[in-house]
Structure 1
Amino acid sequence: MPEIVVEYLALLRALFVPDEKPRVWPHFWRTLLRHRRRPLPPPIVCLVGAKASESTLLERTSAWLVRGNGRAAPRVLVTADPPTGATSADSALTALVGLLDRLRIGLAMDNSGAGPITFPRYRIAAWLVGREFAADVDVTAELEDCVPELLRVARGRPQGAVHDAADAAADKTPWPVQVLVRLWPALQLWLFVSGRAPGLSREARWFMGQRYLSPELSVSFLGFAGRLVQPNRRHEDPEQVAKLLVHAFLEDLRCAYRHRLLRPSSWRRTAYPVVLLQSVEPGGVAGKFLRTVNDIRNDTGMFDPLAVVATMTHAPDNRPVGEIEELFAEPPGRTGAPRGPLAQWRDTIGALRRRHADGAWYLVLSLPDSLVRSVGALPAGPGSLPPLPPFWTRRRQVVALVAVVVLLVAAVPVARSLLPEQAPCESHPGTVIRAGECVGYSADDRLTFGSDQVLTDMQREVFRQNEIAAQRHAASPRRPLVSLIYFAGLTYSTKTNEQYPRAQVEELAGLAMRQRELNRAPQSSEPLLRVVVANGGANMVAAPWVTDNLLRPLVRADPGVLAVVGMDRSSKDTQQVIGRFGELGVPVVPTTLSGDGLEDASPLYLQPVPSNVQQARLIADYVLGARYPAGSAQAGQRRYDKVVVYYPDAPDDLYVRSLAAALEAELRPRPIGFDKLVWAHQAGLNGMDSLCSNGMADTRTVHVFAGRNYDFVPFLKSAVQGCGSADLPTILGDDAVTRVIADPHGLETIPIGLPVRYVTKGAPVVLGGRPCVEGADRIGTLPAGPAYLEFCALLAELSRDNAGYRPAWPADRTGLAYEVAGMVLDAVGRNAGRSARTGGVETIPNRAAVAMEIREQPYAGMTGTLRFSDGRIAHDATLGILRSDNVRDPGQQQRCVLLHGTAIDLGPGDPQSNRCPDVTRADDETWSPPSP
């Protein structure tokens, strides 16, 4: 092994191992007394060289640190972002928070054998810095409302994971205990912010006692917290805010490494956390982080265990650059030679820190080419192993003691009822809390997203099928195990009404049904399906961050992840995510996205539903082709002569923007009156004029709602106020309304007796009605096709096995998710059939090959033929307009008004009419193709 490699590994050992002496029982008291003395923090090692940005030294170093066979130093490798040249203080602060989040995620992973490191103080500080309130509100009062959410952030719990203990204990415990349990949540919140309870308010006490931003100017913790949120933060010094964030980060590390006699786990941390920063520029965010750590150590004089190794193209200051070869001692055979750089740094650090010198904690060393060339020679060995913890703290002894305590506690029913049902968010390796929401990914039932019970139950069903698929694959390796990432917004803001989780329930149900179908298939080469559930947060706002920081490593590590499905909504955030998956070579096959321009984000984007242009054409054809039915006084005449389109002013919403533009482009040239109404905020809908005059509506006008689902109910309530029951306005909703139709809570708010017409992208599925949910072999008087009968049988079985999942009729999203999974797996099967088999194990095709298979051969599904030979949008897929006369009636049949697309699997329809199957056609709706 080259000498330079030996010196480099010795440097690493000196950085991350605080004490090389054996710490076993005979040395217990000496060890205890020695650790009461204040140790010296490790230096910040800066490796400077021309090839620093090209070197893989730190990547190999990270790999060397994990060769501990169960024990390793906490570590994280981050490639620093280049300087952006941004001058905004908020931009610089956001960049710093982003870097600290990446460091926290890496160090919080339970991959060292000593347990994860939690960061409660930093999470609180970052959460506050990320909050923004309106300029005219009382910030302190708003923060008081956010205290429960702030407590969840501090404790690392996901949204919806804090259950109501009072309800859990009701009717199960004596009344004195119930009173205490009901009072405890309020008391816990008060103690958390009061700073008066050492155990329950340690974070608030720390914030009010640290030195940055002068906390003594604030009367209480909430008052100090109010200075960190916008718009109040603009009055504070950005440098002080940055130091507070880094100081909180370092304080959490101090607490994790503080030895406590009564906490054996604290003694198991025998190796300091190592941060490896690659390609650091002094003017970048990583350079600012290093300078801030240096300043905090000088300002506070406090110990922190953070060991940093950074590679740079040039030194952070003008100090001399040392040599790694001369690092530890005098060179052999050179008596009286100068002491090495590490010894010199230890000699001078006391004076430098007293003078608050810039770069006092930097140990600047050259990065020789010989070390860069030898990075492949970092050997496995005891050098990367942390020292053993004291005997009395090792896991077997602690586990035995804990087992006894658990047996005693299990005898107390009250304690059992208060145990949490779900692990904290940040204890799961693929998740993190951002803005109060648990985002990331999960593939097992250790963690589910959201607070809706049916949503979490359906995730558990998917995860149960994952386990069965893994067992089937182990028993039959010829069956490839394929993974799909279901990516959607599964949590919601608690301060808005945008909560429609049942749409995601329906999509997960479709995936679970496809899993069940494959898991029960005979032993063959047919693929098996594993679903990874990923949460992009409310409205997918956190989706780009989740993709970059959590899903990117997953995709690179697991070649079995072949596609991303779901994707929730057409927005700029979703468009960014599609582009980033395209860069990774991962196909994106969404369920219902239709915003125009999404296909431009990635060549691997395949949209199985028609675009908004076709949705606009369907609506225009319906309005111009609608006729009065036979038997009426105006039979055969045109029913409508005017259209009014309603949509919000939302330039960042790709779906709304493109649909509104397409409707105007389709309707203005047609021989029909056209008008539009745009609102800026949802409150504007409350002041909208009623569509009825003297209790009567204009029956010659179609009112087209082209907004989002959360605006639909307020729109309906304003539209029909003052309307009588005889003539109600004709309202036609876009396909976003299916989110309301799928949600029982949304249906309860729709005005009674109002017929609702809406566009759906999976009309043939919905038209199966209640008989399909019950597993019938006929739809009305017509027999359905084999594919649809299999779908209905799986849906009925899933409904029986999951008590909370009781759909009134098969949802379009259920069918679309089922179709999308089937299309991807069909492509995998075709590719595998042409591939060579190695050792009897079926090979998994690469992602690009799957995308090419999908494009080359149409997929004949229940919703029509999905064809991508002419582009990456399935323009031939079915698109329809349905009508629900009483959405609150779970047993009603959805009526078909008009269908566009390929053949339907529910029986014959008249091709010269609206193409609706006879048994589902609305009898009072007559339609004829409009003249071109």
Structure 2
Amino acid sequence: MHERWTAHRLRGARQCVMVAPSHVAAEQGVEQLLAAAAAQFFQGNRLGRGRGAPHFALASWLATLQREGRERLSEDEVVAQLSAHFSQYELFYEGQELREDTQIRVPLATISDLPWWIKLPASVLPRLVLHIADTVFGPQRWFEHRGESRQQERRRDEPEPLKGSLFTLAKRFAGIEGQAPTRQQVNALLADALLEDLRRAYSRGGLFGRGRRRRTYPVLLLGCESGEATTDLLRAIKDVRNSRPRRGTFKKDPLLVVAAGPRAASDVDARAQEEAAPGSPEAAYMGWHEGLKEAPRRDRVWLLPFAIPTSPPPATVRDRVMKLRPPQRVPWMSFVGLGLLVAGVVAVPVSSHEFCRPWWSPSVRAWPPGVLDAMTLEDLGDDGKQCVGLAGEDPPRVDTKELGGVIDKIKETNAKVVLNPKHITVVHLTILSPGNEQGVRVAREELRGLAIAQQESLEEDAPIRLLLANAGANMEYADRAAQKIVEEARRDPRIVGVVGLGLSTQQTIDAVQRLGQAGLPSVGSATTADELIDASPYYYQVSPGNRRQAVFAAAYASADLRARRARVYYSADPDDTYSHELATAMRDELPVAGVEISDHAGYRVTDEGPGESVGQLGRRACQAAERPDEIVVYAGRAERFEQFLTGMKLACQNRYPRILATDDVSRFVLSGANRKYPGLRLEYMTLASSALWGADCQATRRQSGFYIRYNGLFGGACEENRDGRALLTFDALAVIRQAAANVLAKDAVTLKTQGIVAGLADIRGKGLVSGVSGDLDYSDSEAPRTPVDKAIQVLRATEGQPCLAKVAGKFSSQPWIARDCP
């Protein structure tokens, strides 16, 4: 037996233990064998870190109550024993190896996992702890559930199963009440408890059951040279396995018992078959296995006797039973833990990268459960990437140095704003990753205007916290970003509106519709598409609409430029609502002003898109230089304007026609690119500009409070603001501020429950906002959310700073306007 055990351990199977009867009283033999097995199976966390044999530990404690020196124990003494059990009780068994001290002491704590919250108070309130443990702790409850069904009769040779609450069993074992358990009942209880512990340790229930990590089943080697303990143990295991559980199907246990000795199998179970002849046990095993499967549950025979051959079999003999030996390779589920760890190490940074979060930041939310996908990573072009969606205060993949540190100033102000319990939150939805220098300049100026307006709100009753959302280059992901804003607004009722909205594209219209469906107001700063007004009843804009710009341009072309013919060029991109609307409005309004349309064509944006080459249109536009009364109207985007001029330069031979461009071209002029085209005669409309105060920067700073604050925060006030983006976003946030003030003036509770919708409707007549880009009065019945007679300017490009050629519209905050163009 010892050689067999040693050979088995050399293969690495640590679940094989050997025990033999000791020289103790007969009634303690089974308990000593099981205690030795439990100590070796469970001691040292052999079957799993932190796991023990709590069921056997409690059953063994019950058995000790029956072995006390006095005939009976009082109930108080039983409770005292409980305290001793939880604190210092030890199991004893005799080891088989020769040692000076053959009594190996095994503290109960090494094989039991009773929780500390039961152990700690046990010595103080033992009776209460007993009832608590009996109610909520698993091993105690097991004693009530074991045993056969009440409806099935028990055989005469089968002991009545011991079951009931732990306290009831303890009083019965101590002789306080009820009939004392028999030796056969105690043996069955002890065996059942150990099998239950092994069953749980080897459980394969669920995907990650502890037993899925086991390479072999536990093997118990018994020596049967003398004594009745081994026979009694085998009978107890047989009785337990053949007993019916209280509910559920038959519960298998993983233990394999190998008993070697002169005892006959019939001494344990009279129904056991005869010993198989020495040699191959294949036939005997197959017959026994078939009988085990076919026999009724209570008639199963668990013993298979073999005669051990006196000499080893020949090397040519191969037994089919060998195929059923414990697996020698680790099952695939053993790699689940390592696989999950590796997957987590890889998945966390990968998912964080895709969701634009810090590398080791979790991408899932515990409550409410969900994925933290407020931002996603998308292509920007030229192998670049951009993070689109709701960025919060610190947008990833955005170069804050390019933006002049304005994001840091917004974060600093946010930290002050949140200290006020009445603060509200506004989201700025724009293009934070434009992918070109002109776009970066626009984004920087927009944020600067917001930062100034936010700082002013600190002195108001409802200061504004600013969050940023990136719609991607050309507003391509505006609808997705709007959806993330809506989701955040449902979680945070302080979000009262959205400002910015970047460009007038179809994606912007979709975003405004989505915000409107959620009842979230939006205020466009530089958006001018008339379609946006119809997209949502909660949409307002700071800039004049495209139709009004076309009316103004037609009047300027006729009266100031004395034009009688015009060539109109625009973007043929069907998603560019801004350019399409302007070109259509120009085609309608120029003839009304007495200007004939001599050419009306769109340039293609992509190779497969509709329209003509933008360079070809530039060359064709040179024909206007031959007629002094003909002008070129460019209603396209600034990104294509330089290509348009390049084509014109090749054909015009530095004899450029007069060009009247729409407001988007201001980005091209302010970048200084117009200096590459000497002799270019360019005038362009703009929605706001510091040129309104004149070309003298010092005078501008003295005359406007906005520029005083701008220069104090960022410097270069008038030089940076010829395109007016900061002015427009400042006014957009001023509309939100005024709406909040209107609501607070009536009822502060309304601001919390209904937001600023009612306050926006009051910005009309005497309640208008005197903005730095012009008056904001939403009293027009035909276009109630577009400012009435909003200021429009025409700037003329020169070798230096652009100068103001004309201004029209209401501008009550600026009584003096400098028209300094020659």
Q: With structure 1 as the length reference, what TM-score do the two structures score? A: 0.45
What is the CA distance between 1:448 and its match in structure 2?
4.1
Among 43, 48, 53, which residue is 1:30 paired with? 48
Q: Say which SS state the counterpart of residue 30 (structure 1) adopts.
A: coil
Among 462, 470, 476, which residue is 1:541 paired with? 476
Among 454, 471, 477, which residue is 1:515 paired with? 454
Among 663, 678, 683, which residue is 1:735 paired with? 663
Alpha-carbon distance between aligned partners in 1 of 2:622 and 2:723, rounded to the nearest angstrom: 36
Does residue 863 (structure 1) correspond to residue 785 (structure 2)? The answer is no
Q: Say which SS state the counterpart of residue 792 (structure 1) adopts.
A: helix
User: Where do residues 671-750 of structure 1 align in structure 2 (5 Å cutoff)?
Assistant: 671-682=594-605, 684-688=613-617, 690=619, 698-721=627-650, 723=652, 728-742=656-670, 744=671, 747=673, 750=676
Q: Say which SS state the counterpart of residue 554 (structure 2) adopts.
A: helix
Contact 1:691 1:720 in 2 (8 A): no
Alpha-carbon distance between aligned partners in 1 of 2:626 and 2:759, rounded to the nearest angstrom: 52
**Aligned residue for 2:341?**
none
Alpha-carbon distance between aligned partners in 1 of 2:453 and 2:378, rounded to the nearest angstrom: 32
**Aligned residue for 1:457?**
405
**Aligned residue for 2:504?**
570
Q: Say which SS state the counterpart of residue 719 (structure 1) adopts.
A: helix
**Aligned residue for 1:878?**
791
What is the CA distance between 1:671 and its match in structure 2?
2.5
Shift in alpha-carbon separation, 1:819–1:865, aligned structure 2, 3 A? same
**Aligned residue for 1:486?**
428
Residue-by-residue CA offset, 1:145-173 (whole Å, 9 max, x unaligned): xxxxxxxxxxxxxxxxxxxxxxxxxxxxx
What is the CA distance between 1:602 and its match in structure 2?
0.8
Shift in alpha-carbon separation, 1:589–1:336, aligned structure 2, 3 A? closer
**Aligned residue for 1:899?**
807
Does residue 433 (structure 1) correspond to residue 377 (structure 2)? The answer is yes
Shift in alpha-carbon separation, 1:456–1:907, aligned structure 2, 3 A? closer
Alpha-carbon distance between aligned partners in 2 of 1:723 and 1:457, rounded to the nearest angstrom: 43
**Aligned residue for 2:415?**
467
What is the CA distance between 1:26 and its match in structure 2?
7.1
**Aligned residue for 1:850?**
759
Q: How many residues align?
A: 467
1:756 maps to amino acid: L
2:414 maps to amino acid: N
Shift in alpha-carbon separation, 1:681–1:837, aligned structure 2, 3 A? closer
What is the CA distance between 1:27 and its match in structure 2?
5.0
User: Where do residues 153-168 of structure 1 align in structure 2 (5 Å cutoff)?
Assistant: none
Shift in alpha-carbon separation, 1:538–1:336, aligned structure 2, 3 A? same
2:427 maps to amino acid: I
What is the CA distance between 1:790 and its match in structure 2?
1.3
Alpha-carbon distance between aligned partners in 2 of 1:339 and 1:850, rounded to the nearest angstrom: 72
What is the CA distance between 1:568 and its match in structure 2?
0.7
Q: Say which SS state the counterpart of residue 704 (structure 1) adopts.
A: strand
Contact 2:697 2:718 in 1 (8 A): no
Contact 1:695 1:724 in 2 (8 A): no
**Runs of 5+ unmatched residues, structure 1:** 1-24, 35-270, 274-300, 302-332, 341-389, 391-420, 628-638, 778-783, 909-916, 924-932
Contact 2:695 2:820 in 1 (8 A): no
Shift in alpha-carbon separation, 1:468–1:619, aligned structure 2, 3 A? same
What is the CA distance between 1:424 and its match in structure 2?
5.0
Instruction: Give the RMSD, CA atoms, in angstroms.
Output: 4.0
Shift in alpha-carbon separation, 1:729–1:26, aligned structure 2, 3 A? farther
Q: Say which SS state the counterpart of residue 854 (structure 1) adopts.
A: coil
**Aligned residue for 1:203?**
none
Alpha-carbon distance between aligned partners in 1 of 2:471 and 2:207, rounded to the nearest angstrom: 33
User: Where do residues 299-338 of structure 1 align in structure 2 (5 Å cutoff)?
Assistant: none
Among 557, 566, 575, which residue is 2:491 paired with? 557
**Aligned residue for 1:317?**
none
What is the CA distance between 1:876 and its match in structure 2?
1.6
Contact 2:428 2:499 in 1 (8 A): yes
**Aligned residue for 2:738?**
826
Contact 2:554 2:589 in 1 (8 A): yes
2:682 maps to amino acid: V
Among 430, 441, 461, which residue is 1:502 paired with? 441
Among 687, 706, 710, which residue is 1:791 paired with? 706
**Aligned residue for 2:462?**
527
Contact 2:423 2:464 in 1 (8 A): yes
Answer with 747-756 or 864-873: which moved more. 747-756
Alpha-carbon distance between aligned partners in 2 of 1:422 and 1:906, rounded to the nearest angstrom: 45
**Aligned residue for 1:760?**
686
User: Where do residues 332-351 of structure 1 align in structure 2 (5 Å cutoff)?
Assistant: none
**Aligned residue for 2:281?**
none
What is the CA distance between 1:426 and its match in structure 2?
7.3
**Aligned residue for 1:922?**
821
Contact 2:579 2:637 in 1 (8 A): yes
Contact 2:376 2:388 in 1 (8 A): yes
1:653 maps to amino acid: D
Q: Say which SS state the counterpart of residue 615 (structure 1) adopts.
A: helix
What is the CA distance between 1:681 and its match in structure 2?
2.3
What is the CA distance between 1:539 and its match in structure 2?
1.5
Residue-by-residue CA offset, 1:276-331 (whole Å, 9 max, x unaligned): xxxxxxxxxxxxxxxxxxxxxxxxx9xxxxxxxxxxxxxxxxxxxxxxxxxxxxxx
2:712 maps to amino acid: E
User: Where do residues 796-811 of structure 1 align in structure 2 (5 Å cutoff)?
Assistant: 796-800=711-715, 807-811=719-723
2:398 maps to amino acid: G
Higher relative contact order (CA 8 A, sep 6+): 1
Alpha-carbon distance between aligned partners in 2 of 1:767 and 1:825, rounded to the nearest angstrom: 25
| Identity among equivalent pairs (%) | 24
Shift in alpha-carbon separation, 1:659–1:810, aligned structure 2, 3 A? closer
Among 574, 584, 604, which residue is 1:651 paired with? 574
**Runs of 5+ unmatched residues, structure 2:** 1-42, 53-205, 213-243, 252-336, 338-355, 364-371, 380-384, 606-611
Alpha-carbon distance between aligned partners in 2 of 1:272 and 1:481, rounded to the nearest angstrom: 49
User: Where do residues 193-272 of structure 1 align in structure 2 (5 Å cutoff)?
Assistant: none
Alpha-carbon distance between aligned partners in 2 of 1:663 and 1:339, rounded to the nearest angstrom: 86
Alpha-carbon distance between aligned partners in 2 of 1:544 and 1:561, rounded to the nearest angstrom: 18
What is the CA distance between 1:511 and its match in structure 2?
0.4
